[in-house]
Each structure stands twice: as structure tokens, then as C-alpha cells.
Amino acid sequence: MSRTQRQELDARLRHAPQPSAPATIEEMRAGFAALMATFPLRADVTRTPATLAERPAVIVEPAARTAGPGTILYFHGGSFALGSPDTAMALTADLVARAGVRAISLDYRLAPEHPFPAAIEDCVRAYAALLEGGSDPSQIVFAGDSAGGGLSVTTCLAARDAGLPMPAGVVAFSPGLDHTRTGTSMRTKEEADPFFTMAGMEQTGRLYLAGQDPRQPLLVPAVLADLSGLPPLLLQVGTHEMLLDDAVRLAERARAAEVDVILDVTAGVPHVFQAYAGTLEEADQALDRAALFIRQRLASGA
Amino acid sequence: MSRTQRQELDARLRHAPQPSAPATIEEMRAGFAALMATFPLRADVTRTPATLAERPAVIVEPAARTAGPGTILYFHGGSFALGSPDTAMALTADLVARAGVRAISLDYRLAPEHPFPAAIEDCVRAYAALLEGGSDPSQIVFAGDSAGGGLSVTTCLAARDAGLPMPAGVVAFSPGLDHTRTGTSMRTKEEADPFFTMAGMEQTGRLYLAGQDPRQPLLVPAVLADLSGLPPLLLQVGTHEMLLDDAVRLAERARAAEVDVILDVTAGVPHVFQAYAGTLEEADQALDRAALFIRQRLASGA
């Protein structure tokens, strides 16, 4: 039974050996890459290195493009300071295979070398490059996890403000949407969250902010951004997450802005639980719901 | 484009001829039945009259049971005073065909002849009869629209409190979940809602309450009920609904009670917009999402 799977996963995460605090950003990146490499990569996708708007990227193709010629523009997680298309590849590939549509996963610039708003600039440029290359915006869906889930939303906002057309939809897994960390779940879920701590979030947050005032719409989209005109949103989040209220508050304000929004909450699962597909039934089912959402968004624009 | 479809539907509903206020409950029921008979019934389901726990019911079978042997226990809408399985049959049949699973739609007792809690008693008895007949609770999903969406939730609550096992899930289309009518959308959406008025809601509400105090969990599940132990919920609602906040508040409290809950909000569409499948793309897509949810819930228990 899946209730058991949720509890086993929680116990496993809590009893994982805790490495000593890494001293450098390079050590943090290596540790994150090693952690993410433990997630098995499915064999039925092909990966091709590419360049998009002068940034490295990886094109991820399903065995069968059952959803037609659309594109998922994917943004990996890693607190804006860690990660790459490779660290999110198992999850990206799983989404691609289920949706039957290719993804392009962008290697956007990271903090501290490149603080806010470098990542968003790269993501908007990548989207603009797809449009300039002839892609119809109705055939593009943004998706991302964690910090990348946040980028899937802020890239829409920045693209809209730059006069670009909106993509067909946004899928955000456990998005980070508030650099002021004011969500109630930041306190109420700190015990339940097996991954994050307030101290850890503040550490990576400082790298991304680099002394800038966080009270800006692109740093706090869950609270400060004008969401009008955004395409349909699918937000998936677990209740064992300090970031729960980031998604909850964005959904609330999206409804008020007359934006279609699905707030899909799974109880008792951690941050980006979709990564546990294959061992956690809720993960497989959440990814299948995300795949249906993507196919529906691409079909609406076809 | 679907944005156009939403606007056309809204204009059509607003310019519909307004009948003079009916004088009797029988006139109200006849008017509702005539309205609902205008929705086309798909041909690829079979309907068989039945009896369930001494109440009339209709078994609705898809052409192909692609989701296996499960059952949707369906509760029609009609403000607890109007309607029957027939008035919701177009929507029920559409859900059955898409989910690939049969439904049993219950003709529960109506107010004013049978005020609260008669409807809930009938629904719980129907569920208990399915269990006594050998159905596995993991192979039953409750679904309903409007008042019936409310019953899909309150029947769970009453069944839980009676010691019955929970069904596999609940699908509620635009559920009514607050007889105290305290949702903010009761005021903020009265202009946008083409169907309901506060006066109309109070009229049918009085019939159902029959002088009873509405401040009871089964009359205000969105605010007063203990939701712990409920199965996964899918709540679909439009933003052009006075009932929007009924679903929003239930979802909020379900999350707090560690219940899986999907709050699926479509902008600019009216109460039970799923009934407009075939002419409104959002309706077709929402029903397909509900069908996937039902298949996932039945698969989890298989």
C-alpha cells in the first residue's frame, strides 16, 4: 500500500548519513550531483547536447513523440546555485517519456558567480530563441523542479513584461517562489521536511541575492508579482515541505488573477517527490497527471 | 480558441430567457429537468434502472470497462431539492465513458419533503449496500456535482463516523460545502455567476434546513468538519461561481488534515462547467483529468 511507501521513504531520508557541512560551493555542487546521480535514468529517452541562446542545454527525446511536435522547456533545481540539466535528468526523462514530447533542459547560470537575475535572463533568452527559431508559443510548456519550478513561473513573468507571448502552460514541481521566506510552512513544516532547514535555505539564498533586496516580484512571485495573463499552471507539492505555502499562495493569487491553476497536493511526501517514481506510487501518479496536463496544453494550441 | 469559447458560453447564459419565478417545488423541479434535458446524452453508455438500499438508482455502463471492475457512486446536483439521476445523466455518462468504469447514480431523497440529513443518510446507506454486496471500498469512488459534490464529501464524513471504510477517492464538481454561505465568493462572484443568486440559494437552503441550525459539520464541511482520514479529493470549480470558496476552503483544510487534495480551478467558467463538454474545450479537458484521477484511485487499490 502506498501509505507504507510514503512512510518508508520518509524514514529512509531521515536516516541517511549526514555529510559534514561542505566548505565550498564546488563541494556543495559535487555533493548535489552525487546525490542526484543515485536516481535511475530510464533508458527509453535519448539525450543530445545542444546550445540554446549561447547556453549549454540538453535535448531529451522520448522514444515516441505521442504528443506531437511540442517542446517542454525544462529548468532544473538546485537552489539557484547548484545543479545542471544532468542532475535533473532522471526526472526530466520520466516526464518526457510519459508526456510523449521532447524537452530542452537549460544549463542556466548559477549563483554565486551569477546572482539574481542572471538565471531568469538566461531562461527568457532561451525561450525567445525557441520562438525566433520558429516554435509556436502554443507548442511550448515550461516545467521545472524546486528552484527550476520557480524559474518556470518567473520566466513567464519576465517574458510577459518583455512583450513575448505566453507559452501554453507551466508545470512546477515543489517550486520555490518566495525569497523572503514568509510562508507559514517555513516554520510549521521545518520538522516534517527531511531536506531543507531554514539555515540551509538562507545560505543558498544569500548566494542568489548577493546583497539585493528580496522584496521584488521576480524574487517573491508568490506574494508580490502581478500574475495576470499567465498561462494555465499546474503546481504539485507535498505536505512535508517547507515550500508548501509558496505553491499555495501562488495558486491563491493566480485564482484571483483569473489564471487557470491546479494546486495538486500530496500528503506526507517530501520536496520533489516525483523523483521517487518507481518506488513511490504517488510519484508515478503525479507525473502521469503532469503528463496529461502537458498534452492538454499542447492540444489546446494545436 | 478556448478563451473565445468561455466568453461565448458566458454571454449565452446571460442572455437566456429568464422564466418568471416558479411558484411551487414541482414547477421548480420541472424547470430544472427541462433545462438539464437540453444537454446531449452520449450514445456509448447503457443505462439500467436499479434499486440500491431501497432507493431508485441508475446503473450507467461504459461501452468498454477499461478501468476494470470499479464503481463510481454518483450523486446528482439540484440544491438538495431538485434533480434526479436523469438530470445529471449527460454529465454522468460523459464521466463514465472517459473513465472506463461504471457508475451507479443514486436517487436520494429531496427537500422539502425530506430535509437534512435525509440525503446524506440515503447516500451512506447506498455505499454500505455496495460494501455489503461484496464491493471492495478501494474499488469505489464517490463523485457528484453541485449539491451532489457536497454529498460526495459529506457521505465520506458520515461513513467514516459510522465506522465504514473510506472509498478510494472523491471527485466533486463545483461542490456546495457551506450552508452558512460565508465564503467570500458568495459576495465577490455574485455578478460573475450566471446561475446563482444569494436569494435563490437561500430559498433552496431553507427547504433543506427546515429550520435546523446550519452550523453543523455535515452542513458546513468546508469550515466545520474534521477532514482527517478522508481519501484523496479532486475538487474542480470555476472562477465564475459563488461556490468557488466552498472548494477553496475545503482544499485548505484538507491539506492541513494531511489529506491528498487537488484543487483544479478553471478561470471564467460557470458552475458545473463540465456539463458543456463538446462545446467548451475546458470542460472536455477537466473531465479527462477527472477520469485519470478515478483510474489512478482505482489502480491504487487494485
Domain that holds residue A90: 3-300
Mean pLDDT, chain A, whole residue set: 95
Q: Give residue-wise pLDDT tens across range A1-17.
A: 477 899 989 888 887 65
Q: Does A173 touch chain B (CB under 8 A)?
A: no
> Strands A169-173 and A261-266: what pairing?
unpaired
Neighbours of A100 (CB within 10 A): 18
Neighbours of A130 (CB within 10 A): 20
**What letter does residue B259 receive in the DSSP assignment?**
-
Would you state the pLDDT for residue A12?
86
Catalytic site includes residue B146: yes
> Strands A102-106 and A55-62: what pairing?
antiparallel
d(CA B274, CA B264): 12
* pLDDT tops 90 at residue B294: yes
Inspect the interface and report whether the beta carbons of B262 and A258 lie closer than 8 Å: no
d(CA B208, CA A78): 53
Residue A5: name the closest of A37, A13, B137 by CA.
A13
Q: Residue A91: which H helix or E strand, with range?
A: helix A89-99
CB pairs under 8 A between A and B: 67
Q: Which amino acid is present at A266? A: T
Mean pLDDT, chain B, whole residue set: 95
* pLDDT tops 80 at residue A21: no
∠ CA B92-B96-B99, nearest 5°, is: 135
User: Which ranges constitute the DSSP H helices of chain B?
Assistant: 2-14, 25-36, 89-99, 118-132, 147-161, 185-188, 198-209, 221-224, 244-256, 281-301
> Residue B206 class from Cβ within 10 Å (0-12 exposed, 13-18 middle, 19+ buried)?
middle
Tell me the shortest Cα–Cα distance from B249 to chain A, in angstroms.
Answer: 11
d(CA B20, CA B22): 6
Q: Give residue-wise pLDDT tens across range A83-100.
A: 999 999 999 999 999 999
Alpha carbon of residue A215 to chain centroid: 21
Q: Give residue-wise pLDDT tens across range B155-176.
A: 999 999 999 999 999 999 999 9
Least confident of A66-75, B53-62, B186-195: A66-75
CATH of the domain at B264: 3.40.50.1820
Mean pLDDT value of segment A33-50? 96
Query: B208: pLDDT confidence band, cut at 50, 70 and 90?
Result: very high
Q: Does A248 touch chain B (CB under 8 A)?
A: yes
Would you state the pLDDT for residue B65?
80
Total of domains in chain A: 1
Q: Are A151 and A123 a contacting pair, CB within 8 Å? A: yes
When CB atoms are compared, the residue of B248, B260, B268 closest to A258 is B268
Query: B18: pLDDT confidence band, cut at 50, 70 and 90?
Result: low
Would you state the pLDDT for residue B106?
98
Alpha carbon of residue A37 to chain centroid: 17
When CB atoms are compared, the residue of B260, B268, B292 closest to A292 is B292
Inspect the interface and report whether the beta carbons of A251 and B258 lie closer than 8 Å: no
Would you state the pLDDT for residue A18?
59
Catalytic site includes residue B79: no
**What letter does residue A16 receive in the DSSP assignment?**
S
Q: Residue A158: which H helix or E strand, with range?
A: helix A147-161
When CB atoms are compared, the residue of A261, A266, A285 closest to B265 is A261
> Residue B217 class from Cβ within 10 Å (0-12 exposed, 13-18 middle, 19+ buried)?
middle
Mean pLDDT value of segment B18-44? 88
Would you state the pLDDT for residue B13?
87
Distance set, CA A112 to CA A87, A179, A210 (Å)? 18, 15, 7
* pLDDT tops 80 at residue B302: no
Mean pLDDT value of segment A196-213? 95
- Structure pTM? 0.97
Higher pLDDT, A206 or A20: A206
B259 vs A contacts (CB less than 8 Å): 267
Q: Are A103 and A71 a contacting pair, CB within 8 Å? A: yes
* pLDDT tops 90 at residue B1: no
Q: Give residue-wise pLDDT tens across range B106-151.
A: 999 999 999 999 999 999 999 999 999 999 999 999 999 999 999 9
Q: Which residues of B290-300 are buried (b: 16+ CB within 10 A; e: fewer)?
A: bbbbbbbbbbb
Q: Give residue-wise pLDDT tens across range B59-93.
A: 999 998 887 789 999 999 999 999 999 999 999 99
Inspect the interface and report whether the beta carbons of B265 and A264 lie closer than 8 Å: no
Catalytic site includes residue B271: yes
SS3 state at A122: helix
Mean pLDDT value of segment B241-264? 98
B244 vs A contacts (CB less than 8 Å): 255
- Pick the residue of B235, B253, B260, B287 with the most A CBs within 10 A to test the interface with A by mutation: B260
Task: Tell me the catalytic residues of A.
Answer: 146, 241, 271
